[in-house]
Structure 1
């Protein structure tokens, strides 16, 4: 094997491993596997008979992260929102042929098209005029393409991003090494285009952020943690523009140690901020005790 090829393999492995933490633990139960394959869940969400209430008139669409899926990414947040009276739905997107359970790997512009179709399906089923979107990691950034380029702004009231890769990631500097390894970028593009789409300065992100971070008429909330080890630096997650609220978890609870995975999968302090963003008229202060709610 040529020396540079020996170097590519560990680099690619490191990049994939770093992005893999957006997924939930690999030990999914048989019930979860069945739920993913059948497109249904039994924990109160993805119920297409659900009709939004006067208190919560918009359905909530959950958008998983890289290597996540419509069930595992939301085993805690979806029931949290259902319990609070929301109609909650989640989709799978960015599937690659022959790769089961681990999604969000395909070209992000194509994933945004899948989101557009799913939102239309949810709005048709619920009779609502608009939806709210909540996404983790790539799932907090990808909807912005839908809002800007695919007509989503007319169908979405709010976008809430948990550790979103809004301006890409350096993966703690590892991506800066790519130019020194001939063929590494092509290898990533061929097998996992969503990863290279999320590298700082990628053509996708350049197009997405050109002309401003936001579009008129949509409310944006970004919830970040200073301990994020994947979307780095963490302040790159924040958005500029009207209708934006940027939140750092440690400003609300200094002892919150959540990293990139936990903020999406189990952090109820972050979830309290999600609920506030979805219903700002009834928002309540978030602090460390919010973890007990």
Structure 2
């Protein structure tokens, strides 16, 4: 009798597990239908697919290292109107170097469109770096990033730089800024689709680096610790259609000691974030703001939402 009861309990547990799995699958299916079954969702899917194909073609080019190219931002006679406007409006903003850091299993080619857009808007030095595909520790990568920043500052003579990080690149840069004293050298850190609270997708990759990107990891716990002396401005771009940061709301950044500006999108995939026109325009606008007094402003969170791209509540990110 006891054996029969034990078997029934196991069957009940199994049935409950199957029911939960089915419910979750139904939830994911409904989300996918709500997301991709709308014109904005289909646009996002097409953009993600198109950029994936283009990025695969550009990937070999991005494997080579890039030299630092300086432009004379103090002369405006040979600049187009958009660049001339930034240089005349705020020569310090135009002259602050921008360092681009790619994501996991990627290279600097992911910033092909983004880098060109910043240069066309008047930013004098926009430099993309590669780090090893075999990187197995976020902390070590942050130490390497510190060396890149110091080299960029030395070669350009700049006191501070901006960093733009896509996916893992944003997390590496955040660790450098918060835990390695990088706020003294980094004026603004932009993250695009970075899993600030971890991603459940990291459970699919059995590597030490992936374990650091899981919710509740020791690295993420370090980043949640107080950072009262951090003066860097954080600019966070995240999308409710991000297929790599799950749940999508984990790409948001919340920390009581940090000054955060946030752009919320609803119809852009993970890979397409750096090529989305709204992302490019918003980030370029933020980086072009006067930076002289920003460290004396009170800490705050400012959220910019792109309106009416998908129906509210369409994503588990909400």
Superposed CA offset, 1:219-248 (max 9, x none): 011111111111122222222234111220
Structure 2: gaps (5+ residues): 1-47, 75-90, 292-303, 308-318
C-alpha RMSD of the superposition = 2.7
The list of structure 1 runs, each at least 4 consecutive aligned residues, that deviate by more than 6 angstroms after superposition, is: 285-288
- 1:130–1:156: 8 Å Cα contact kept in structure 2? yes
Q: 1:165 & 1:270 partners in 2: Cα distance?
A: 17
Q: Which has the higher helix share?
A: 2
Q: 2:136 & 2:286 partners in 1: Cα distance?
A: 29
Superposed CA offset, 1:265-291 (max 9, x none): x21111111112212349xx9969xxx
- Cα deviation for residue 259 of structure 1 reads 1.2
Q: 2:305 & 2:249 partners in 1: Cα distance?
A: 20
Question: Which one of the candidate residues 59, 67, 83 is aligned to 2:120?
Answer: 83
Q: 1:90 & 1:52 partners in 2: Cα distance?
A: 19
Instruction: Note if 1:136 corresponds to 2:158.
Output: no
- Cα deviation for residue 210 of structure 1 reads 2.4
**1:168 matched residue in structure 2:** 198
- 2:170–2:191: 8 Å Cα contact kept in structure 1? yes
Q: 1:82 & 1:131 partners in 2: Cα distance?
A: 15
Structure 1 pair 34–231 and aligned structure 2 pair: CA distance change class (3 A): closer
TM-score (norm 1): 0.69
- Give the SS at the match of 1:73: helix
Aligned residues: 225
- Give the SS at the match of 2:226: coil
- Give the SS at the match of 2:272: helix
Question: Which one of the candidate residues 26, 51, 56 is aligned to 1:27?
Answer: 56
**1:123 matched residue in structure 2:** 153
Instruction: Note if 1:220 corresponds to 2:239.
Output: no
- Give the SS at the match of 1:199: coil
Superposed CA offset, 1:9-42 (max 9, x none): xxxxxxxxxxxx9x9556335xx635523x13xx
**1:149 matched residue in structure 2:** 179
Larger Rg: 2
Q: 1:147 & 1:77 partners in 2: Cα distance?
A: 22
- Give the SS at the match of 1:261: coil
- Cα deviation for residue 52 of structure 1 reads 5.4
Instruction: Note if 1:267 corresponds to 2:276.
Output: yes
Instruction: Note if 1:64 corresponds to 2:102.
Output: yes
User: Aligned runs of 1:143-292 on 2, under 5 Å?
Assistant: 143-171=173-201, 175=203, 188-189=206-207, 193-211=208-226, 216-240=230-254, 241=256, 242-250=258-266, 257-264=267-274, 266-281=275-290
Question: Which one of the candidate residues 21, 36, 47 is aligned to 2:63?
Answer: 36
- 1:158–1:220: 8 Å Cα contact kept in structure 2? yes
- Give the SS at the match of 1:195: helix
Q: 1:63 & 1:229 partners in 2: Cα distance?
A: 20
Q: 1:51 & 1:197 partners in 2: Cα distance?
A: 41
Structure 1 pair 215–234 and aligned structure 2 pair: CA distance change class (3 A): farther
Q: 1:147 & 1:57 partners in 2: Cα distance?
A: 21
**1:110 matched residue in structure 2:** 140
- Cα deviation for residue 107 of structure 1 reads 0.8
- Give the SS at the match of 1:245: strand
**2:14 matched residue in structure 1:** none
